[in-house]
Chains A and B, each alone.
Chain A
Amino acid sequence: EAGVTQFPSHSVIEKGQTVTLRCDPISGHDNLYWYRRVMGKEIKFLLHFVKESKQDESGMPNNRFLAERTGGTYSTLKVQPAELEDSGVYFCASSQDGWRGEQYFGPGTRLTVT
């Protein structure tokens, strides 16, 4: 069974540009989470999808971040326009049983904004 995959593994963009990160959860997992670790800080929760619906997006830092999960399968996280402080590693995770279930993490996307 394939694990959680993320694309790209690394993205380098200039300030002001747009970047779209993709996460493919484990097949059959309705719950999908986005997290990020910015330099020197702890990993922080961004949002939680249940199927295609946003269950909790309280961790999204501002309106430059847009997450979608059309069809309840893969999810995208778009940053537009990117700022220097958005640099970090963006992790995606999926689970079968919501918050009660074990979360399976993807390898992360390292975003560098210059």
Chain B
Amino acid sequence: KNEVEQSPQNLTAQEGEFITINCSYSVGISALHWLQQHPGGGIVSLFMLSSGKKKHGRLIATINIQEKHSSLHITASHPRDSAVYICAVRADSNYQLIWGAGTKLIIKP
């Protein structure tokens, strides 16, 4: 079992829907990252957070340290949001990034 679990693995939704992607982890962390990987392959960092909530445009990331859980929300989803969304945690034991398997999101027009 991976130390970082994401759900769902795949998600298909209609344009405009509210999207939630979940990330649970089992190790002590100092930070959690949400990243986006487009079909072209490049990875873009969306958020780095260690507590509370962050918002950037239509994207919102929350983290509950006690429950070891984070969520990424997309409001008013758009086909250009289609990508793989990856959760990665920075372990506080050795500071390495431990990666989830990713959630493949498809937004249909």
The residues of A with any CB-CB pair to B shorter than 8 Å are 33, 35, 41-45, 48, 56, 58-59, 89, 91, 93, 98-100, 102-108, 110
Distance in angstroms between the alpha carbons of A84 and B2 in the assembled complex: 24
Smallest CB–CB gap between B9 and chain A, Å? Answer: 12
Pair B45/A42 contact, Cβ less than 8 Å: no
Contact among B42, B45, B96, B102 with A102 in the assembled complex (CB-CB below 8 Å): B45
Pair A42/B100 contact, Cβ less than 8 Å: yes
The residues of B with any CB-CB pair to A shorter than 8 Å are 2, 4, 30-31, 33, 35, 40-45, 48, 86, 88, 90, 94-102
Known: A56-B96, A102-B48. A91 touches B43 (CB 8 A): yes
Contact among B43, B90, B101 with A105 in the assembled complex (CB-CB below 8 Å): B43
Whose C-beta in chain B lies nearest to the C-beta of A43? Answer: B99
Pair B45/A104 contact, Cβ less than 8 Å: yes
Pair A45/B97 contact, Cβ less than 8 Å: yes
Chain A residues near B95: list those with CB within 8 A.
Answer: 56, 98-99
Pair A58/B44 contact, Cβ less than 8 Å: no
Contact among A43, A93, A104, A110 with B86 in the assembled complex (CB-CB below 8 Å): A43
Smallest CB–CB gap between A112 and chain B, Å? Answer: 13
Pair A89/B41 contact, Cβ less than 8 Å: yes
Distance in angstroms between the alpha carbons of A91 and B48 in the assembled complex: 19
Pair B40/A107 contact, Cβ less than 8 Å: yes
Smallest CB–CB gap between A35 and chain B, Å? Answer: 8
Pair A58/B99 contact, Cβ less than 8 Å: no
Q: Pick 18 A–B contacts, CB within 8 A, sort by A.
A: A42-B101, A42-B102, A43-B99, A44-B99, A45-B97, A93-B43, A99-B90, A100-B31, A102-B45, A102-B48, A103-B45, A103-B97, A104-B45, A105-B43, A105-B44, A107-B42, A108-B41, A108-B42
